[in-house]
Every structure is written in C-alpha cells, then in structure tokens.
Amino acid sequence: MTQRVFLIVGALALVGILVLTAFGGGLFIGRVTALRGIQPAACPPPSLSQEPTAEKTQAIPEEQYGMQEMQLSEDFDYKTLESVLNLLDEQFYGEIPDGKTLAYGAIRGMLLTLDDPYTSFIDPEITAVLNEDASGSFEGIGAMVTMRADGYLEVASLMPGQPAEAAGVLPGDIILAVGDQSLVGLGLYEAISYIRGPAGTEAVLEIARSGEPESLIITVVRASIEIQVVESKMLEDGIAYVALAEFDASATEKLQEALKELLAQKPKALVFDLRGNPGGWLDQAIKVSDLFLDKGLVAIERDSSGGEQKFYSYDGDLGEDIPMVILVDRGSASASEIVAGAMQDRGRAILIGQKTLGKGSVQRPNDLEDGSQLRITIARWFTPNDQSIHGEGLTPDVEQDFPTDTPTGEDPQLDRAIEYLLNAQGITP
C-alpha cells in the first residue's frame, strides 16, 4: 500500500465531509456536485421577488460591497506579485506557462487563503462542461461526489442502477485518479471534468477504500443518464411513497401532480424520500416545503454583514394533513436539508435514515469576460429553530443505516419508515 493511500484511508474518521455547490444563473442555492451534469445557467428559476415568501431585514446597500472591493484592491500587494513574475521570467529553468495560465494559478492561490472550498474559480473549459446538458439527460458515471476538508474527492452516494454502482464503486470511496490524471490537489470542478465524458467511453478510476491495503482500479463505462425527477407509488398497508431526485425548476409542479394522484387513493400515510437529492433552486425548496406545511417559517438566510432574509410557507396546500416521514442520507444536501430541516423543526415529520451532508452556504456565480466563473460564498442557511445546516447536517430522529451488502431489492431505511408509520403513529394495516 502506498503512503498516499494509507494517509487518505487513515484520515477518513477524522475529516468532516464538505460539499461544493454547483449551480447556474439566478438564485441557485447549490447542490452536491453530481458526475452527471449541472443545472445550466440558461434555466433560471422564477424570481423569488415575485413570491410572497420572503421577509428581508437589514438589507446591505450595493455601495457597501463596492467599498469592500475597493479596500481589498488598495491593500493587495501588486508589487510583490510583479516581482515574483519578473524573477520567474529571469531565472526559472524550464518552460513557463502562458500569462493566462499563471493568472489562473494566482487566482486559485488567493482563494485558498479564504479557507472556504465553496468560493471557487472555474476556468472557461470547465465552466462550459458544468453548464451543459439542459435536457435532463446527462453523460457520466452516476455518482454524487463531495470535496473533503483535506482536499480529496469522495463519493457521497450512488445513483441506483447507474454505471458507478454497477462497476462496484461504493459510497465513501476516494477517487485518486482517472487514468493517468491524478485528481489529488485539483479543484472539485476540475476533477469532475476528467471523470465525466461521452457515453460509451471508459473512466478508469484509481480508488482508495477504507479497509483495503492498496488502491483499487475500477473501470466505469460512462452512460447517458435520464433523471426521473419524481417517482411515486402506493406501498403495501396503504402507505404512499414519493421520491424527489432534485430541486430543478419543475420540482414543485411534478411533486404536486404526483401527490394529487396518490392522495386520490386515500393513503393512510406518506413516505417522502429525499435520499441522494443534491439540492437545486431556492424557490423550489420553499415551495416544496409549502406543500406540506401550514403558515410559518421555513428557513433563514444570513450574510456576513448582518443581513437576514426569512422564507415562509402558507396555509391551504394539499399535503398539509397526511401523516408522513422523510427519508434522508448523507447524499441529501442543500435544498433537501432546507426542506427536511423545516419539517423536522416544526414537528411536521420525523427524519429517518442517516445524517445529511451539511451544505448550508449560498454562492453567487460571477461570469467573467473570458468565459470563466467565480463563485463566491455570500450567506448561510439556518432552520426555523435557528439550527445551522452548514458543516453540521441534520441528525435523523430515527437513525437507520443502509449497509453496502444489503441484498438487491431490499431497503432497510424504507422498511424502518413503514414500521414507524404503522406502529408509532398507530396506523392500522
């Protein structure tokens, strides 16, 4: 076993999981980056300013941001940077990259000093990759990945029935390299650009796995993956089941349609499955919460300057009365955590499963002239009871693991949810 693999595997128990956002234009609160495509900038959500769901206090004037930028510009040590460039030009033995490549490297170095992996610079080529695929069909391996605090890329969850799962990739695996390209030390989006690729091509992954003495080589054949945003069905014992795969621009509409069909069958209770849901649009998180909640607070957004924005739900929606539980796991992030946190805090539903990922920060995308993008953390989210989501995640009311050796077709977390609804809620089968 190489020293590199030993260090990575040994650190698994010590390092918390962090997730970088992936979002397009508009107000997109982020989702766990998926190796299957990113919601493109061409599909912005409806403006929340048109919805009666937010109350804003202590607004921060635009002039204040301008003053902060001017101060930073004045303090920046341009002279030393210029001296370094001149000395490289005069003394470096070897080929020096072009000026743009050096500038990109300097930008990434500056961002590292912020100690915030969510504030990130993405070069034009990778920006184009992340903004492609608006149709809901994505080409990749079908795995959700996170960037750990130590800079290694970890598999958070797998999409059922997709290539990564079929090839034997497991949640918790560390992806060290793709072919001859090491991913160690790369940014999240750069790493993704090497793992993604056209359907039918191979991604040869070098993986460090806890408990394995040496790194593994797993070959995954990339595929075109169709995303089913909502899945719904009636289970035995009169319990309805609905799963939401992501909070895209159609999430509330499709979920509402599925709920109408389910409720028409007079179910006794509902299981709402948010496992593996990486997040998405802010307005959809609020509206989905509103489907199940009466009037009250859904979430709080706070920025570093004391600005606060509150988002609310209102009476009169079709899912407000049915007994329900919510399934979550470590792949439930961002918008999923906003919904689950609101339901838990307000006593509307208990959470069953595993602790969620803890993506509770908000990033603003800034498109630069050369096609690159700078994504800057501007705020953090809190639940109605002022519970911090970021870096903490949500702890389920009923913890239930999903062992990796669970036989195909079995679902211990769903079984636990059904058991809870039948017994704890006193529902008669």
The segment with the largest mean pLDDT, out of 18-22, 130-134, 165-169, is 165-169
pLDDT number for residue 135: 46
Confidence band of 280 (pLDDT split at 50, 70, 90): confident
Task: Provide the pLDDT confidence category of residue 293 given band limits of 50, 70 and 90.
Answer: very high
Confidence grade of residue 12 (pLDDT, cut at 50, 70, 90):
very low
> What distance in Å separates the CA atoms of residue 106 and residue 87, rounded to the nearest whole number?
15
Q: How would residue 5 be classed by pLDDT, with cut points 50, 70 and 90?
A: very low
Torsion-angle region of 342 (φ positive above 0: left; ψ -120 to 50: alpha; else: beta): alpha
| From 120, 173, 283, 359, the catalytic residue | 359
- The predicted pLDDT at position 414 comes to 97
DSSP string, 380-426: EEE-TT--B-TTT----SEE----TTPPTT--HHHHHHHHHHHHTT-
DSSP states of 325-355: EEEE-TT--THHHHHHHHHHHTTS-EEEES-
pLDDT at 405: 83
The answer to whether residues 299 and 342 touch, using CB atoms and an 8 Å cutoff, is yes
Known catalytic membership, residue 359: yes
Is 250 annotated as catalytic?
Answer: no
Where residue 49 falls among pLDDT bands split at 50, 70, 90?
very low
Closest Cα partner for 121 from 139, 101, 146? 101
Closest CA to 412 of 423, 425, 403, 422: 403
Mean pLDDT of the 111-135 span: 76
Q: What is the pLDDT of residues 73-83, one digit of tens each?
A: 788 899 999 99
Lowest mean per-residue pLDDT among 22-26, 85-89, 154-158, 280-284: 22-26
Higher per-residue confidence, 377 vs 63: 377
Low-confidence winner among 5-9, 134-138, 284-288 (lowest mean pLDDT): 5-9
Smallest CA-to-CA distance from 222 within 143, 295, 300, 148 is with 143
pLDDT of the residue at 26: 37
36-45, 69-78, 105-114, 116-125: range with highest mean pLDDT: 105-114
What does the mean pLDDT of the chain come to? 81
Greater model confidence, 81 or 186: 81
Is residue 205's pLDDT more than 70? yes
Give the domains, in start order, of the chain with CATH numbers.
3-48+124-226 (2.30.42.10), 230-362+379-423 (3.90.226.10)
C-alpha span between 360 and 187 (Å, rounded):
20
361 in active site:
no
Q: What is the pLDDT of residues 362-387, one digit of tens each?
A: 888 899 999 999 989 899 999 999 99
Range in 16-25, 66-75, 108-117 with the lowest mean pLDDT:
16-25
User: In whole angstroms, how far apart are CA 302 and each of 116, 310, 371, 381?
Assistant: 17, 9, 30, 7
Residue pLDDT, tens place only, 13-45:
222 222 222 332 334 455 444 443 333 222 333
Q: Which of the residues 334, 336, 361, 372 is marked catalytic?
A: 334
Residues 6+ apart with CB under 8 A from 70: none
Per-range mean pLDDT, top range of 138-142, 146-150, 312-316: 312-316
Options 173, 287, 345, 372, the catalytic residue? 345
Residue of 189 and 394 predicted with greater confidence:
394
